[in-house]
Amino acid sequence: MPQVSLPLPVVRAALNPLYRVMLNHRLPFTVQRALMDWGSVAQRSPRGTHIEHIRLGGRPAERVTLGPVSDAATVLYLHGGGYTVGSPLTHRSLAAYLAGETGCAVQVLDYRLAPEHPYPAALDDAETAFLELVASGFAPDRIAVAGDSAGGGLSLALAERLRDRHGYVPAALGLIAPWVDPNEVPDRHRDLVINRPWSRACAAAYLGDGDSYETGYAPLLDDLHGLPPTYVQADTDELLHTQCTRLVAKLQAAGVRTEFTETEGLWHVSQLQASLAAPAAAITKELGEFLRQALRPAQTRSIG
């Protein structure tokens, strides 16, 4: 449960001006990053959260735990932020809630951001991090990969690359409103969190001089056969809702076991506010339970 349960209209009213300021395409991305880190102070982690600053795949990362953890399973978390902003700090609270629900350490990767490091830098970092987890002793099918928004798209792209290059299939994918095709232009100006000018600026920054139809950049365009069980969540009022429904339909057509939760009255990646609102905490718990079920065989072996 959240540490403080505020009414959804109150949380929405507080978030609206914050996101309008923070995710403004007229601001340099460096300023947006600083504002995002500052704003994350309000997203409190559960009591007992332990943060360990580590290196993973040559990049900074946070290993987030809450209580006893399995030594045979883990979650690799790829944060959102349009590939241009966001950090382990902005997603620390969300990672802590998932650590508590899964009983596993959640490894939040500080992958390189655009425009300084355009595609495929983030995907390369995610791949290297996953391979290092394998080299450290985790079986590939005992590593769940999760992410939100751009991090959700990156999670899908990582699963496709692991399948094609290494023959690895993670335990599961947990995708919160994943941005799986940055080529798609939103049909509305904004939702509570995301606005069209900002998302287009992020897409251009991430693409750089690349090919927008490369499946690593737009993983929705790839073949989805052979992917692990996948959880997708999106709110019906957010800009990415239609894209998420397309993803779910394509996953199901490819024979991938898929769970799709459509909420009403929340907002894009409301899981970040799990400490403030009960419905956001509930939807975070649902993702955690899905990941825990996928990782349960490993946890059972580690206990026995």
- CA angle centred on 111, ends 110 and 117, rounded to 5°: 135
Please name the residues in contact with 138: beta carbons below 8 A apart, sequence gap of 6 or more.
72, 73, 74
Residue 107: φ, ψ to 5°:
-100, 110
What is the C-alpha to C-alpha distance for residues 248 and 246, in angstroms, rounded to an integer? 5
Rounded distance, CA 63 to CA 55, Å? 9
Active-site annotation, residues = 149, 238, 268
Cα 140 to Cα 215: distance, rounded to the nearest angstrom:
22
Question: Which helix H or strand E contains 194, and what residues bound it?
Answer: none
Residue 265, φ and ψ in degrees, nearest 5: 95, -5
CA pair distance 283, 245, nearest whole angstrom: 18
In 67-185 the beta strands, taken as DSSP E runs, fall at: 74-78, 105-109, 143-148, 173-176
